[in-house]
A and B are shown apart, each in its own frame.
Chain A
């Protein structure tokens, strides 16, 4: 059984009188440990699909099945719990908490996911992950003093520190230059492979596709395997 399945997912936005169906029956399964890239023209509905999959907005129709449970029928609190402990997020911007140091960003995530680790184990885990993203030397820095690439690496660290089952990434390299983009991509690949995290990632950068296992394309509100 796949870890995550979208089954006939539809999404309609209503702007006044105009109804627009952006997703017209999406069927997509994610295989455990795989990195799936979602590509397609701007405005084709990639972000909409990703956020529905991540439980950040509801679908108009269809099923979002994670671990055998249909997220579409869960209440807000149940979805929040899944987001907090089973999902990780990376977006175009790092969205770090401005008044927390790098280390505290990760501590907060462990807090939110109700980590079972004790204080000492948490520190060790944070050190380990920060080493992986090569940010251990900026442990006590605030986001305002980090470069774009550094922020994104902290955001990635925050997205995986609680060992989520699935990592959702929406154009994580869009705000970075091409050299940094490659670094971040390589980092995501390395981390998700070592930690066995399943990844769904939106990208419009052809260069990034060499780092993923599978590419699906959005077109006319449907996905096609590439």
Chain B
């Protein structure tokens, strides 16, 4: 006989409450983790979307990429030796749109036009992150910059290229040099799995290490990830507490069932069945809700929830729920049938 099912059918309210707690906590966790991922995307999609590889900047820059100036001879040496390598620079700045409104952007330029890592931009042209479209900028618009003599014509848009929460503006290397009055590039990127090369005067960074040198990135991700894991732990404790309370209420019942000869294993199975059933239904609901949120979230809100993340978190929830329920269920083993009988009516 399926005791687990029979009990849930009779005590719908109790299990509904448990289910809605699991639902709310997991939904909150999904949303926060979507936000964390969205913010990280908004902060560094430009870098995150690059393939695996090594970043190099000068040692004296003290891990601050916009203080780095790689001299031309070193740059040449690396670029000659490694086909796909590319030197590039990033600077925060402004573009004035046709309505003379200042738009904050991250200017990006690169040397190697053959590598497909960065788009190939002609002099006097600019390619923008698609979020600029929402600001009313169209292909063909002429944009200006206070340090730049000519005009930059919008040639096209790219999806999801952000740096430091600003839309990326790809420009030609000569235009970049004019705007920022520099000759050197800040960074060299060497794609591939190879271990970092030792180059005098330069320091190498993996992608993750490089992301962590971006001042806001590290702090932001750390606090958001902390919230996510706190929520996971709290939900685990909620599970344990709820099952504990339900089990305490049922001590008498467990005692009677044991007295008439039910196996302890059957009682655990009953609890596990209920836990898995409630958790899966709640998780399916909160996955659905978080995906709907993903669709309807306002465009400006950095929110990005991948299926992998949701799936991974769901598995963690299931495991934590299982552990919580099982820990609280240890008392089932301790129940003496005799106690229950002497305690009177359940």
Tell me the A residues contacting B by CB distance below 8 Å: 47, 51, 56-57, 80-81, 83-85, 87, 89, 91-95, 97-100, 104, 107-109, 111-113, 142, 158, 170
Contact A104 B346 (CB under 8 A): no
B252 neighbours in A (Cβ, 8 Å): 95
User: Could you tell me which residues of chain B, from 1 to 60, have a CB within 8 Å of some CB in chain A?
Assistant: 1, 3, 6-7, 9-11
Contact B1 A104 (CB under 8 A): yes
Residue of A nearest to B8 (CB): A99
Contact B261 A84 (CB under 8 A): yes
Contact A80 B256 (CB under 8 A): no
Tell me the B residues contacting A by CB distance below 8 Å: 1, 3, 6-7, 9-11, 252-253, 256-263, 336-338, 340-342, 344-346
Q: Which residue of B253, B260, B341 is within 8 Å of A98 (Cβ)?
A: B253
Contact B1 A83 (CB under 8 A): no
Shortest beta-carbon distance from A88 to chain B in Å: 8
A99 neighbours in B (Cβ, 8 Å): 6-7, 9-11
Q: How many contacts between A and B, using CB within 8 angstroms? A: 64
Contact A89 B259 (CB under 8 A): yes
Q: Which residue of B7, B259, B263, B345 is within 8 Å of A94 (Cβ)?
A: B345
Q: Which residue of B3, B10, B259, B262 is within 8 Å of A56 (Cβ)?
A: B259
Contact B6 A83 (CB under 8 A): no
Contact A80 B263 (CB under 8 A): yes
Query: Can you name 18 A-B residue pairings with CB atoms under 8 Å?
Result: A57-B336, A80-B258, A80-B261, A84-B260, A84-B262, A89-B260, A93-B346, A94-B345, A95-B256, A95-B341, A95-B346, A97-B257, A98-B253, A99-B11, A104-B6, A107-B1, A108-B3, A111-B1
Contact A57 B6 (CB under 8 A): no
Contact A51 B7 (CB under 8 A): no
B336 neighbours in A (Cβ, 8 Å): 57
Shortest beta-carbon distance from B77 to chain A in Å: 77
Shortest beta-carbon distance from A169 to chain B in Å: 12
B259 neighbours in A (Cβ, 8 Å): 56, 83, 89, 95
Q: Which residue of B260, B337, B338, B341 is within 8 Å of A112 (Cβ)?
A: B260
A89 vs B342: C-alpha distance in the bound complex, in angstroms?
13
B258 neighbours in A (Cβ, 8 Å): 80
Contact A98 B338 (CB under 8 A): no
Shortest beta-carbon distance from A151 to chain B in Å: 9
B6 neighbours in A (Cβ, 8 Å): 99-100, 104
Shortest beta-carbon distance from A92 to chain B in Å: 8
